[in-house]
Every structure is written in structure tokens, then in C-alpha cells.
């Protein structure tokens, strides 16, 4: 059964304190000690893509330290490499995550690497199961029906054009394209960098190129639209406002306001058949494994310390000391089993 989790569209600055309200809002709706998967994919072309994602991990870990998040970087950088978005071993953490985050990079690169990828299928499966999806900056552009090739226009000088996006929201019946950095003013008085750096003079003719029936969701910097499919509403969180362009009309909603999901278009829940059966089964099995692991008793710190000392004693061939430590672990109510990669602890029967 499909019970979608929240989708949070953030206008940019996911690793900047001004966006902390969005991270806090989502964390309040996650289980204790949530698992968070941060994908490298949008910036996978960068030589330091691990640090791009790493900075986001560091910020979230610090900002949400009261929630004790368990963060993991998913190094799905480029197709056709060992770090491919199609490599199950690389992208498997997505299926175990309470929250999935994609942030800055290149929107068109993100589309090329995620289109029809195993990573994207896992993202869909997990979000449809109830996981939270946070997409910020370039990633929000990538996930729309059309993506604006920002670098190609703003930096390279290519003619105005759109490219096909991942169209993530088509499964919900929405013709939705997203423009982050809607109110950006990095250019100051000298250069209009609004509308994700292309400026109004370029954006207005770009808008005219889109087919009829398209909805544009503009997100101010450090401001997010949180789509809640269960409650059929959108909540604006963060610094400023969001803007909806649809059917020739423009609506603006300020932070703290809520509005109906129907403002984005006629929508419906995804159908299970829209995702391959084997992917859905993998996702369900992974989540059952995750729930079982979370339900398993956790050994207290003092028992883990004894187990670590016993492992070291065995490595040093100090067998008598190892036996004494095993007995101490047993007196604490735990049973230790040796394993290929160390040891396993189980509550004593």
C-alpha cells in the first residue's frame, strides 16, 4: 500500500543556518535517531563531490544534534563507474533511510545521472513507503517536469531553452516544474540574479516557451514548500515565501502559511504498478530488515567496552583474559558470539 512521506522542496542553502528551520521542521516529524541518506549525485561531476555532500552532512549533524541523526553519504556520482547510481551496493542505504536529501550541483547533470537509475527507483519506493524526501537547489530543478539549464544559460551563454527533467511528480498527476533561488539577489544592484540566477529578463521569455498546463513553483532562498500528501496540503517553512504560476495566475504564500495541494494541479496518489515489482519488493524487504534491526535490543556501552577488550585479548592470544571478559559479559546478561568481522552480542536467554 502506498502511503507517501513528505516531499520538501527547498529554495537553496541547505547547508546554511538560514535553512535550519526547514531541517528542524522535518526532524520533528521523523522517528528518534533518524537515518538520513545524503546523495552526492547532483554534484557528482565535481572533484570534491564527497565534500559537497559532506558539508551538508556536517551541517545537519550539528543543527539537529538534539535528534541524534544517523547520517550517511551515498556516493552515487556517475553512471558507468564504480560509483554509479545503478550500483545496488552504493545506493542501498536509500532503502533504509527515514530521510533522503539531494542538494546543490548541476540540474542537468543530476537529470542525466538519475534518469531511469536504480537510485531514483529506490528514492521513489522509499518516499512512497513513507520516507521523507528533501530536495534543494539544483536537485529541485532536476526533479521537475522541465529543468532550467542554469549553467548553460547563465555561465556559457547558450540560447534560452528548457530540458526535460526527471518529472518526479508525474506519478502524482502533476505537471510541475520548480525554480529555486526565486528571489536571489547575489548580484546586488549590478546584476539581476533572481529566478535562479538567470534574471527576469531571461526568465519571462523562458516562461513563454513552456507548454500549456505547466505549473511553476518558485522557491525563495532558504524557504521550502513541504508537500504532505496524507493531509493534502502544502506548508511554507523558512525565511520568505513561495510563488505559484499556473493557468496565467500568480499566487504567493508566506512562511507559516498552508494551502491545498490542489493549488499545484489536480493530483492523485501513485499506483503501485508505476514502479517495477522487484524494486517494490526490494524496498519492502529492506524496510522490514530495518525495522527488525531497530527493534533488536542494544547492548549498553559498558558491555560493548568489555566485548571490545575481549576481541583485543583474542587478537593478542591472551586466552585466559578473553575467557574472563566473556564471563563478565555473561554476568551482565549478554552472550557474545565470534564473527568474521568481529563479534555479535545477544541478550542472554
- CA torsion angle for 206, 210, 213, 219 (degrees, to 10)? -40
Over 80: is that where the pLDDT of 340 sits? no
The pLDDT value recorded for residue 295 is: 76
Cα–Cα distance, 198 to 134 (Å, whole number): 24
Q: Where are the beta strands (DSSP E) in the chain?
A: 7-10, 35-39, 70-74, 99-102, 132-136, 146-147, 163-164, 176-179, 215-219, 223-228, 233-238, 241-246, 249-254, 258-260, 334-339, 342-347
Would you say 268 and 274 are in contact if contact means Cβ atoms under 8 Å apart?
A: no
**Domain range annotation of the chain:** 7-290, 298-347
More confident position, 78 or 294: 78
How many Å apart are CA 181 and CA 30, to the nearest integer? 26
pLDDT band (50, 70, 90) for residue 137: very high
pLDDT in tens, 201-234: 999 999 999 999 999 999 999 999 999 999 999 9
Residue 157 scores a pLDDT above 90: yes
For residue 344, is pLDDT > 90?
A: no
Query: Residue 154 pLDDT more than 80?
Result: yes
Residue 341 confidence (pLDDT) above 80? no
- Listed range (71-85, 152-166, 225-239, 287-301) with the worst mean pLDDT: 287-301
Say how far apart CA 124 and CA 349 lie, in whole Å.
41
The domain 7-290: what is its CATH number? 3.40.50.880
CA atoms within 13 A on the CB side of 344: 9
Span 6-50, pLDDT tens digits: 999 999 989 999 899 999 999 999 999 999 999 999 999 998 999
Phi, psi of 179 (to 5 degrees): -120, 105
* Cβ neighbours around 34 below 10 Å, total: 20
Residue 238, CA atoms < 13 Å, CB-side half-sphere: 30
Q: Per-residue confidence at 175, pLDDT binned at 50, 70, 90?
A: very high
pLDDT in the model for residue 347: 87
- In this predicted model, which residue has the larger pLDDT, 158 or 299? 158
What's the distance, Cα to Cα, between the start and end of the chain in Å?
37
On average, the pLDDT of the chain sits at 94
DSSP class of residue 285?
A: H
How much is the average pLDDT of 89-104? Answer: 96
Which of 258, 243, 108, 261 has its CA nearest to residue 181? 243
| Residue 63 confidence (pLDDT) | 94
pLDDT beyond 90 at 348: no
pLDDT digits (tens, 9 = 90+) for 100-135: 999 999 999 999 999 999 999 999 999 999 999 999
Angle at 116 between CA 113 and CA 120, to 5 degrees: 75
Cα separation, 63 vs 20, in Å, equals 7
Q: Tell me, what's the pLDDT at 168?
A: 98
Amino acid at each position: 500500500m502506498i502511503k507517501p512521506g513528505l516531499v520538501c522542496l527547498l529554495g537553496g542553502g541547505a547547508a546554511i543556518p538560514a535553512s535550519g528551520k526547514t531541517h528542524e521542521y522535518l526532524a520533528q516529524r521523523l522517528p528518534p535517531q533518524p537515518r538520513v541518506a545524503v546523495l552526492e549525485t547532483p554534484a557528482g561531476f565535481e572533484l570534491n563531490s564527497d565534500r559537497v555532500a559532506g558539508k551538508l552532512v556536517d551541517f545537519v549533524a550539528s543543527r539537529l544534534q538534539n535528534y541524534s541523526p544517523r547520517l550517511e553519504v551515498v556516493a552515487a556520482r556517475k553512471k558507468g563507474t564504480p560509483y554509479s547510481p545503478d550500483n545496488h551496493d552504493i545506493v542501498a542505504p536509500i532503502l533504509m533511510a527515514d530521510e533522503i536529501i539531494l542538494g546543490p550541483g548541476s540540474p542537468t547533470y543530476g537529470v542525466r545521472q538519475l534518469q531511469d537509475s536504480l537510485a531514483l527507483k529506490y528514492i521513489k519506493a522509499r518516499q512512497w513507503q513513507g520516507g521523507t524526501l528533501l530536495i534543494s537547489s539544483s536537485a529541485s530543478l532536476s526533479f521537475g517536469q522541465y529543468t532550467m539549464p542554469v549553467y548553460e544559460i547563465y555561465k556559457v551563454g547558450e540560447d534560452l531553452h528548457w530540458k526535460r527533467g526527471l518529472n518526479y511528480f508525474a506519478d502524482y498527476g502533476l505537471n510541475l516544474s520548480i525554480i529555486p533561488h526565486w528571489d536571489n539577489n547575489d548580484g546586488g544592484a549590478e546584476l539581476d540574479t533572481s529566478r535562479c540566477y538567470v534574471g527576469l529578463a531571461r526568465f519571462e521569455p523562458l516562461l513563454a516557451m513552456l507548454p500549456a498546463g505547466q505549473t511553476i513553483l518558485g522557491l525563495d532562498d532558504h524557504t521550502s514548500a513541504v508537500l504532505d500528501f496524507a493531509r493534502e496540503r502544502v506548508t511554507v517553512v523558512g525565511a520568505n515565501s513561495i510563488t505559484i504560476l499556473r493557468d496565467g495566475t500568480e499566487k504567493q504564500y508566506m512562511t507559516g502559511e498552508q494551502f491545498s495541494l490542489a493549488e499545484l494541479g489536480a493530483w492523485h496518489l501513485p499506483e503501485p504498478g508505476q514502479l517495477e515489482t522487484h524494486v517494490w519488493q526490494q524496498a519492502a524487504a529492506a524496510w522490514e530488515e530495518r525495522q527488525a534491526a531497530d527493534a533488536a535490543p542494544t547492548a549498553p556501552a559498558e558491555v560493548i567496552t568489555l566485548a571490545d577488550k575481549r576481541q583485543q585479548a583474542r587478537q593478542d592470544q591472551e586466552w585466559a583474559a578473553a575467557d574472563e571478559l566473556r564471563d563478565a559479559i555473561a554476568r551482565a546478561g549478554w552472550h557474545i558470539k565470534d564473527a568474521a568481522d568481529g563479534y555479535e552480542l545477544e541478550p542472554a536467554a
